[in-house]
Amino acid sequence: MKKADVELGAVVNAKSEEELKKQFQGTVEKIYENSALLAITSFDDVDAAAVSDLNYKLVVNFKNMKPARAAKKAKALSTNNVTIEKMAPTMKADDKDKKEKKAPAKKSK
C-alpha cells in the first residue's frame, strides 16, 4: 500500500518482518512517514504470546500492508468486555432511619 491509500481507522491485513510469524489484521491508529501504528485485532494462535507482549500494537511499513478482507482461521479479539451483574437493592439512608425509629427500645435490667 501507499501512504495515500492508508486512512485512520481503516482495517488492514499486514505482516511483520520480525515480531510475528503469520499475517494479522489491524486497525490503523496513527500514520507516520513510511509506516503506521496498528492495533492488532485478529491474529493466528501461534502469535498469541508475541501479540500480548506487544500490547496488541505494532508499527508496520506500508509495503507490508494490504486492504483487509474477512479474517480466516484467526483469533479475533473481543472489543467489548462488558459484564452485567444483578445487584441486590440497597436501603436508602431515610429508610434506615425510619426502621430504627420503629424498632422497640431494649429494656436494661
How many folded domains does the chain comprise? Answer: 1
> Chain centroid to CA 63: how far?
26
- Is position 8 within any domain? yes
Q: Which helix (H) or strand (E) holds 48?
A: helix 48-53
- Is position 32 within any domain? yes
> Average per-residue pLDDT in the chain?
80
Q: What pLDDT is stored for residue 48 in this prediction?
A: 92
- Is position 35 within any domain? yes
Domain span holding position 50: 1-65
Q: What pLDDT is stored for residue 4 in this prediction?
A: 85
- Is position 61 within any domain? yes
User: Which pLDDT band, with edges at 50, 70 and 90, does 79 fall under?
Assistant: low
Q: Model pTM?
A: 0.61
Q: Which residue has the cell 498469541?
A: 48
Render pLDDT for 17-76 as a digit per residue (tens, 0 to 9): 889 999 999 999 999 999 999 999 999 999 999 999 999 999 999 999 998 875 555 555
- φ, ψ dihedrals at 49, nearest 5°: -65, -40
- Maximum Cα interatomic distance, the chain, rounded to a whole number of Å: 91
Render pLDDT for 22-37 as a digit per residue (tens, 0 to 9): 999 999 999 999 999 9
The helices-and-strands tally (H runs, E runs) of the chain is 2, 6
